[in-house]
Amino acid sequence: MARPRKRRRVCGLPHHKTFGPLNRIDANEEIILTVDEYEVIRLIDLEGLEQEECAQRMEIARSTVQRIYVGAKKKIADFLVNGKILKIEGGDYIVCDVNPGKCSPCYRGCHRHSRNREGHKCERNNISDKEEE
């Protein structure tokens, strides 16, 4: 039996989910970009993270990030070059509940050990650094 697929952690859902050519009425071919593919593109290309950092944020393996990234780039290239409609939907993901939309690498520890990288208590636990000292 195959190992169950691990859910990918995303910091938030996209605000805009459908894209397409403005000058083409017959654009009826659709490309589906999953939410986890969108998150990888956002983290690597927009935020400038390395694949290893992206993998830590999403709580998946770096090789998985690389595979997702290659597939997402192909879909985006097909969308741009061939004038297809791009929709962002689906995938196997969990939306980050620490600080939606403003997820930061320092929050990664909150998901597992309730401490961030600097060893301070996580904001999610409502304990500030001053209370610890």
Bridge partners, 94 (sequence order): 9
The parent domain of residue 43 ranges over 8-95
The answer to whether residues 91 and 111 belong to one domain is: no
Give the chain's end-to-end CA distance (angstroms, integer). 49
Q: Shortest CA distance to 74 belongs to which of 26, 110, 40? A: 40
Q: Shortest CA distance to 71 belongs to which of 29, 31, 106, 28? A: 31
The answer to whether residues 108 and 89 belong to one domain is: no
- The interaxial angle of helices 51-58 and 62-82, nearest 10 deg, is 100
Domain contains 2 = no
pLDDT of residue 104: 53
The answer to whether residues 51 and 71 belong to one domain is: yes
The answer to whether residues 71 and 111 belong to one domain is: no
pLDDT of residue 56: 93
The answer to whether residues 85 and 44 belong to one domain is: yes
| Residues in contact with 52: Cβ distance below 8 Å, sequence separation at least 6, in sequence order | 62
Low-confidence ranges of the chain (pLDDT < 50): 100-101, 105-133
Domain contains 3 = no
Domain contains 14 = yes
pLDDT of residue 6: 77
pLDDT of residue 37: 95
Identify whether the C-beta of residue 86 lies closer than 8 Å to the C-beta of residue 16.
no
Residue found by looking up tokens 């970009």 in the block: 33
What is the Cβ-side half-sphere exposure of residue 123, based on CA atoms within 13 angstroms? 10
Type of residue found at 70: V
pLDDT of residue 96: 77
